[in-house]
A = this chain, B = another copy of it.
């Protein structure tokens, strides 16, 4: 009689730093305290009517598997979407995926073997770490800083991270958690490094629609010479505020990459059929929808930046994309702070939940004084939430000063 043991990797799946805070939030809510959840990227923006129209128009009697590469109408609508953006993409260069993370996983499996390395910019989207664990690859990070708005360092800083095991670079622009939108020059530099060193470029472009102040998110698909190395991971979660639809696509002009991705897509048979039909209809979402959403986010962002700048020793830059902002709270251990906000702090019976920065870094000790805020609520709510947060920062500092 022997008890079976969970595997090493089974034990070590990276647990989300944010998730650790959830029990504290739940306990506090039970005491009647209201918590503004600035810790997650779930926008309050309404899913466009075109999605629900698509759902209603589905008349098939059997909810059958979709083809592994995706339903034809969805592939067609994605191709049209890219063509509208001026990207020269065909149906054969695209595989439908069940959300950005599946896309990252299939792309990573296509370009790495276990033990291989992928270069990433820190801070990065923390769920990438889970993919690295599943695929048994190592992320090698170079640093970007709040002072530089999390833009890329010099080419030499990136190149020196390359080893014989490096197979790819993975980056996101507009970035989660930073909100940083890489310039065309930065995208060209990444492409140059990839080409010079025979690396793949995994470009997570799921926040493409969310750029502000006239900024434009350059896609790797727009950089000449990336036909072999460029792999775009895209998702409809944020584009159509349809996080629950679990759909996106991988785009690459490299046929071997697409063949490998498609083989893995075949293993899991199909993405959701009804979601695919509904999202296909979202090609009809008018520009005015996106314009209104962008205006909304600019207003929210400005509220957050203004509030943070009103507090001493808080460093942040105005992000140009996505709906996140990273800020440095000088002298504050943000893991302790985030927990304290949930367990001890409140004004008028309200508090906030934020994501501590360290969870977005692989390098031990990095990001300990940073936080990520998702500005996912309407402006008046964001305003109030920021008042509460700023009061929290001041109160936490005061408490620590009195203690020392």
Contacts and interface: CB of A to CB of B under 8 A. Distances in A.
A338 to B, nearest CB: 18
Interface in A104-139: 109-114, 116, 127, 130-131, 134, 136
A127 B274 CA distance: 23
A83 interface: no
A47 B267 CA distance: 23
A47 to B, nearest CB: 4
User: By CB atoms of chain B within 10 A, which of A3, A229, A254 has the most?
Assistant: A3
Contact of A244 (B7, B65, B195, B228): B65
Nearest to A231: B4
A245 interface: yes
Nearest to A8: B113
Interface string A229-266: 10000000100011111100000001011001001101
A210 B242 CA distance: 35
A270 B246 contact: yes
Interface in A33-55: 42-47, 51, 55
A137 to B, nearest CB: 10
A198 interface: yes
B65 A47 contact: no
A8 B42 CA distance: 37
**Number of copies of this chain in the oligomer?**
2
Interface of A: 1-11, 13-16, 19, 42-47, 51, 55, 61-66, 98-99, 101-102, 109-114, 116, 127, 130-131, 134, 136, 167-168, 194-200, 228-229, 237, 241-246, 254, 256-257, 260, 263-264, 266-275, 278
Contact of A13 (B168, B241, B263, B270): B263
A379 B95 CA distance: 35
A19 B266 contact: yes
A196 B2 contact: yes
Contacts of A246: 98, 246, 270-272
B110 A7 contact: yes
A51 to B, nearest CB: 7
A269 B62 contact: no
A293 to B, nearest CB: 12
Contacts of A46: 61-62
Nearest to A230: B4
A116 B195 CA distance: 36
A109 B134 CA distance: 7
A240 B168 CA distance: 42
Contacts of A228: 3-4
Contact of A63 (B65, B114, B243): B243
A195 B62 contact: no
A127 B13 contact: no
A371 B365 CA distance: 58
A13 B8 CA distance: 24
19 contacts: A2-B196, A4-B167, A4-B228, A6-B110, A6-B111, A6-B260, A7-B109, A42-B64, A47-B62, A63-B244, A65-B237, A65-B244, A98-B268, A114-B114, A130-B263, A131-B267, A245-B272, A274-B274, A274-B275
